[in-house]
Structure 1
C-alpha cells in the first residue's frame, strides 16, 4: 500500500465506499522500473488490467503503446490518441469489428491461430503468437502458455503461419509469446525464451520479438530483461514487452467499510465491498494484502466477507485484525489490476467510483454508478 492512512481516510470520506484509489507516483515508478530494466524495448500496456481513461491518458503521454483484446479497448486506445505502431490487437477470437477497427488505425495484429491468416484485412501487420507448452508457476486460470491453453499456435506451426502471412501479402513482423500472469518463477520466462530462440533455425531473422508480460510484482525485472534481449538478439529483432498488472497493481487500493461482524464456525468481518467489486479472490484465489485503517490490538483472525448471497464472496481469509466495528475502513492492496476492470453489476450493484492521488490532491476519475446507470440500456416495455 503506497498511500498513507490519512490520505486513504480522506478519500473514503470524500467519495464514499467501496472505492478504488490510485497513487500516481507508484504508477510512474512502475513504468520507470520497466524502462530501466528493458531499456530500448517498446512498451505496450495491456489495457485489460485497468482501462480507466485517465490512466490510459497518462501512459499515452509517457509514450506507452497499448495491447487491446476487444473492440471496446481499441476504442479507448483510439480515444487517448493511440494508432499505428502504438497499437496491438490481440485475442483468440477476434470479431469483424475488431479487425476493421485495427486496420483503420494501422494496428499490428497478433495472430492466434492458423485460420486467422485468412481473416486478416489486406496488407496487415502481424505477429504470430507462439504457445510454448509450458507448466508455469501461477494459477491455472492465469496460465496462457500451457499446452492445454486456448492461446497461440504450436512451435511446429510457426513456419507455416509465417509463410502463409507472407504469401497473402501481409507484413509478418515477428513472433509473440505470453505465458501467463502473476508468474512467480523467473525460470518460466527463461524456458519460454528458449523455446522461441530454438525457432530461429526455421524462421531466420525477424523484425520484432514480443515477449508479453506476466511478471509478478516482485519479479527480478533486470534478470528477465537480460534474457529477453538475448532472445531478441538471436533474431536480430526489436524487443517489445506488454506489462499490464505490473504497471498498475501496486498503485491501486480498494477501500471498503465494515458493515458488521459475525461469529459462526469462523470470525467474519462483513464489508460493503465483495466479489462484484473485486473478483480476483473468488475467480482464482488471489490474495490481496489487507490493512485495517483503525487502531487496536491485533488478537483474532477474520475472514473478510462481502454482501453477495454467494458462499464464495470472500475477499480474504484468516486476516489478523484489531476488533472491527461498523464504519471502520479496510484497505485491500495490490488492487489496481483486474479490480475495477473486472467489477460487475451482478445483483444490480453499481460499480464503484475511482479516484487518483497526484501527490497533492484527490481527483475523481470515475464517478460511482447509480442503479439507473445499471439498467439504462434495458428496453422496458412500459
Structure 2
C-alpha cells in the first residue's frame, strides 16, 4: 500500500496500463479523509478550498457537496465556481492585482472580496463585503516563493496601514466582515502559525469586534491540526469572530499520485533515471525545490541512487535528486511520485507542445476519467 494515497500498486499499474503515462490519479477515499481531518480539528469552522491547488471540476463538485466554499484568485476560477453551482455565500475572491473583469465577476456573483492593499478600496464594486488581508511581517519556515506573510512579500495590508484602510472602507459604504491572514504554504514549523495569530489578535484595538477571522491555510501535510486550530480559535475569540480556514494543498496533495514510466538511464557526472514525465507535468520541484516521496513499482534487491530527469531540454527538468531506487529498472517500468494532488496537474503546461496528462479518480470501485489527455492538435487549436 502506498503511504496515505489510498491506492495499491495493483490499482496504479491498472490505471497506467489503461490510460497511459504520464498520468495523474487520485483516491476519493483520501480526499474524503483529508477533509474529515480538517472538519474534526476545526470543529464548527467554515472551510473554504483554495481552488488554485487543484481546480478539477470533479474534485470541486465533491467539495461543494460536502459544504465547502471556494477561494478564487482569477476570473477563470470564479467561472469554475459558478459552473459547479457555488452561490454568493460560497465564493471568496482573493489576489493582489485583481482585474476589472474579476471585480465585475465578483460583484455579479455576490462574492466576498479579500482586500489586498489600501488603494483597492476605490476599485471595489459598490457595497462590497470585504475581508482585509493583513501582512503580519513575519519570517516563516518555507521556501521563499511560498512565504506570503513575510515583510517583503507582495501580499496584504501592513498593520500600520490598517486604520486608514478601515476608515476608507467605511467612507465608501463597504461592509467589513473581518480580517484575513495567510502566511504561506507548506509551513514546516507550526510555531509560525501561533506567532502570526498573536500578531493579528493584537490588532483588536484598531478594529473592534469583527464578524470573521479568516486564518487561511498553509499547514504542512503532517501538521498538528488540533494544536493549530486551538490557537486560531483563541485568536478569533479576541475579536468575538467566527473562524474561517482556507486549506488548499492539505485537502488534495496526498490523494494524488503522478505515474511516470522509465525511459532509460544515463551517467555523466551524475546518474540519471530518465522518465516520460518532467517539469511540464510537475513543476513544483523546479519552482519550489519541492521533494515528493517516490515509490518504484518494480522489484530489485539492491538500491541505487540517481536523479529523476524529465524529457525536456532543460537542466532544471528534474523531479528528484539523489533518489534511492531498486536496481535493474528497464524501459517501461512504472514510478509513482506521491503527494502530487496539489499544484501538479494545476501547474502542468504545454511547453514543448506536450499535451497535458489525463487525470483519473479511483472511487473505491472503479476508475473514472476526470480529465482526458489532450491531443497535440488541441494544444495548437487556438493558433489556427
Q: What is the TM-score with the length of structure 1 in the denominator?
A: 0.98
1:293 aligns with 2:293: no
1:280 aligns with 2:284: yes
Partners of 1:214 and 1:270 lie apart in 2 by: 32
Alignment of 1:1-382 (within 5 A): 1=2, 2=5, 3-323=7-327, 324-379=329-384
Partners of 1:85 and 1:365 lie apart in 2 by: 27
Partners of 1:14 and 1:376 lie apart in 2 by: 26
* 1:183-224 Cα deviation digits (max 9, x unpaired): 011110001101111000111100010000000100000000
* 1:333-358 Cα deviation digits (max 9, x unpaired): 00000000000000010000000001
Partners of 1:183 and 1:171 lie apart in 2 by: 32
Conserved in 2, the CA contact under 8 Å of 1:298 and 1:320?
A: no
* 1:48-91 Cα deviation digits (max 9, x unpaired): 00000000000000000000000000000111111212100000
* 1:303-322 Cα deviation digits (max 9, x unpaired): 11000000000000111111
Aligned Cα root-mean-square deviation (Å) = 0.7
Partners of 1:293 and 1:136 lie apart in 2 by: 36
Partners of 1:150 and 1:10 lie apart in 2 by: 44
Partners of 1:25 and 1:322 lie apart in 2 by: 29
Which structure 2 segments of 5+ residues have no match? none
Q: CA deviation at 1:298?
A: 3.1
Conserved in 2, the CA contact under 8 Å of 1:261 and 1:268?
A: yes
* 1:34-61 Cα deviation digits (max 9, x unpaired): 0000011100000000000000000000
Which structure 1 segments of 5+ residues have no match? none
Q: What is the TM-score with the length of structure 2 in the denominator?
A: 0.98
* 1:242-291 Cα deviation digits (max 9, x unpaired): 00000000000000000111112111110000000000000010000011
Partners of 1:43 and 1:85 lie apart in 2 by: 12
Partners of 2:87 and 2:155 lie apart in 1 by: 25
Conserved in 2, the CA contact under 8 Å of 1:277 and 1:351?
A: yes
Partners of 1:243 and 1:375 lie apart in 2 by: 34
Partners of 1:103 and 1:198 lie apart in 2 by: 32
Partners of 2:337 and 2:279 lie apart in 1 by: 13
Q: CA deviation at 1:299?
A: 2.1
